[in-house]
Amino acid sequence: QVQLQQSGPGLVKPSQTLSLTCTVSGGSITGGGLFWTWIRQLPGKGLEWIGYISYSGSTSYNPSLKSRVTISLYTSKNQFSLNLNSVTAADTAMYYCAREVAGAGYYFDFWGQGALVTVSS
Amino acid sequence: SSELTQDPAVSVALGQTVRITCQGDSLRSHYASWYQQKPRQAPVLVIYGRNTRPSGIPDRISGSSSGNTASLTITGAQAEDEADYYCNSRDSSNNHLVFGGGTKLTVL
């Protein structure tokens, strides 16, 4: 059974960089047809796709966040990470990592537990 | 367009059938996937592909699609089905993803 475990600070100061890591167990991060994704949910709001990195290392980002986002893959550790720079209070949200599968369509079959990140001085 | 539109809220009487819809141009070329989210929990995949349920999802939950509209149907709604439901698909470029705004389902 694949599991995604998130880690990272829960409090980030304005203008600094939000950094989260997702550790994958029970499966390889380099498996074909897999896209390692970050999604966030602002308080009381819906889900927002942040971006993904594919099993081969290619990335795609939400155009609204693209200038501030970097998603990286660490194959030796079976991890991937999110960096969001120049954060403001508007970036306060629950952040999820998830595995997207390209199969019968595209879908997120495994999710991390979520990490609440607050941007505040 | 890369947007997916859902009704913000839907209600259903216990044991009755409810349909939750998701509209968007991307659905003409991509399947929608559907997620159930209960308070303070991560979303859970309930439907993907043409109409596939992951292991553990009850068969009263089903999916369908026609044109630019995908639907999630719960036949014989139970109290535990009360949750927020989100649809998702790749956009027309196939490189970006989009979520619907979510539908809050209340079981009366």
The model's pLDDT over A24-46, given as tens digits with 9 standing for 90+, comes to 999 999 988 999 999 999 999 99
Structure tokens at B65: 């699609």
Q: Which residues of B touch A114 (CB under 8 A)?
A: 42
- The answer to whether A59 contacts chain B (CB < 8 Å) is no
Q: Which residues of A touch B30 (CB under 8 A)?
A: 105-106
Q: What's the mean pLDDT in B53-72?
A: 97
CA-nearest residue to B103 within chain A is: A46
Strand bridging mode A18-25 / A34-41:
unpaired
Higher-pLDDT residue of A42 and B91 is A42
Measuring CA to CA, which residue among B57, B35, B100 is closest to residue A49?
Answer: B100
| pLDDT at residue number A17 | 98
Nearest to B97 among A49, A111, A114 (CB): A49
| pLDDT at residue number B2 | 63
- The answer to whether A80 contacts chain B (CB < 8 Å) is no
Measuring CA to CA, which residue among B73, B36, B82 is closest to residue B56?
Answer: B36
Strand bridging mode B61-66 / B44-47:
unpaired
> Is residue B1 predicted with pLDDT exceeding 60?
no
What residues in chain B have their Cβ under 8 A from chain A's Cβ atoms?
A: 30-33, 35, 37, 42-45, 48-50, 52, 54, 84, 86, 88-90, 95-102
- By the 8 A CB rule, do A98 and A6 touch? no
CA-nearest residue to B47 within chain A is: A107
Task: Tell me if B97 and A100 make a contact (CB, 8 A cut-off).
Answer: yes
| pLDDT at residue number A19 | 98
Closest CA of chain A from B108, distance in Å: 22
**Pairwise CA distance, residues A55 & A29, whole Å:** 6
